[in-house]
Amino acid sequence: MNQMNYRELDARYYMPAFSREIMIERGSGSKVWDAEGKEYIDCVAGIAVCSTGHCHPVVTRAICEQAGRLIHCSNLYYVPGQAELARKLVGICGMHKAFFANSGAEANDGAIKLARIATGRKRFVAFTHGFHGRTLGSLSVTHKPAIREPFQPLEPACTFVEYGDSAGLEKVMDENVAAVFVEPIQGEAGVIIPPAEFMKNIRELCDATGALMIADEVQTGMGRTGRWLAIQHTGVQPDIVTLAKGIASGFPMGALLARDGIEFRKSEHGSTFAGGPLACAAARATIRVIEEVLPDVERKGRRFAEQLASFGPRQRGLMIGITVGEPCPAVQKQCAADGVLVNCAADGNLRMVPPLVITDDEIDQAAGVIGSALSELSR
């Protein structure tokens, strides 16, 4: 079916919550092909999901082998691969124990519950322009008014502080705060990197008030910034970390990790699908691939950003944002026409989060196309 007919089918039967144009049919490495056979270098990667690229043979093989043995069995039983994955994640994130979810939002919902149980408190603090998901729990700590307002009143109660404003945070912290939710780099906001001391200041204010520090690494984790976690660049140890997106190369999975002394006890949390055999197989294979490419992520990111230096990129590893403003959608469209997928995050910020396996050649080609589109349309 061509893209035109498919668009009609979609309009007839699928709720119109998204606006989209291209139909991607196939992917390999950092490239995808649409239904008309047009090739693109994919600097969206399912929004920082396809960390190992599309259909990496190690990941595809692991999923297929597991699918041939056991697709699902329920958490009523020991799940093959689950404890091994938990051990691995605990090790690379420097945490104590893991629990699984099916998405980033669900991992954050789990973190909200865990923080409430661990502290006995109900109030949360999060930051302006932060994004933590669309389930009612994760939405309540998400700032963007346009996506919150239709669902008010939201629980838990959350106070928002300007991202990066440590003095502002100090003013709202007290003994009622269960946790501070923070993205070490804001992704949906458009790759916003906070002041160097911000994570340390949050840690200190949490310690002073007995609140937990929750690092939402759903977008920044799993090697995206050149370390397993973006917060590892700062030397700060959070109490809870949430992961999803890049964790299983596109197989739906989320995870939360907690330090010693914070855990769900019997019946406090659960999920039918979370941490199932297929997701765990995909995640374990993904981690094996990321282990190989991780040492090169910072260099690749710098190579990408240097070629766009005149446009003022914000970059950490393979997470790059450029403030474009109003012409951002036109730039996105021009790049797609020229064979490169990029996307506009909030506030006219162009975002590039390509697979961690992207090659130097692909980086150079993509940067060339993006640079030309920006020169043509954004000045």
Ligand X SMILES: Cc1ncc(COP(=O)(O)O)c(C=O)c1O
List contacts with ligand X (CB under 6 A). 47, 103-105, 108, 131-133, 183, 187-188, 216, 218-219, 244
**And the tokens for 251?**
């197989």
> In terms of CB distance, is 184 or 301 closer to ligand X?
184
> In terms of CB distance, is 216 or 362 closer to ligand X?
216
> In terms of CB distance, is 187 or 327 closer to ligand X?
187
> In terms of CB distance, is 158 or 377 closer to ligand X?
158
Of the CA atoms within 13 Å of residue 340, those in its CB half-sphere come to 26
Contacts of 172 (CB under 8 A, 6+ apart): 125, 159, 161
Minimum distance of ligand X from residue 112's CB (angstroms): 12
Minimum distance of ligand X from residue 253's CB (angstroms): 9
Longest CA span, the chain: 60
Minimum distance of ligand X from residue 251's CB (angstroms): 12
Beta-carbon count within 10 A of 310 CB: 9
CA distances from 237 to 259, 317, 362 (A): 9, 20, 35
Minimum distance of ligand X from residue 203's CB (angstroms): 19
CB environment 312-338: b (16+ within 10 A), e (fewer)? ebbbbbbbbbbbbeebbeebbbbbbeb
Minimum distance of ligand X from residue 266's CB (angstroms): 26
Specify the pairing of strand 123-127 against strand 158-161.
parallel
Minimum distance of ligand X from residue 220's CB (angstroms): 7
> In terms of CB distance, is 242 or 334 closer to ligand X?
242
Specify the pairing of strand 24-28 against strand 31-34.
antiparallel
* DSSP notation for 299-359: HHHHHHHHTTGGG--EEETTEEEEE--TTHHHHHHHHHHTTEE-EE-GGGEEEE---TT--
> In terms of CB distance, is 244 or 280 closer to ligand X?
244
> In terms of CB distance, is 110 or 187 closer to ligand X?
187
Minimum distance of ligand X from residue 269's CB (angstroms): 17
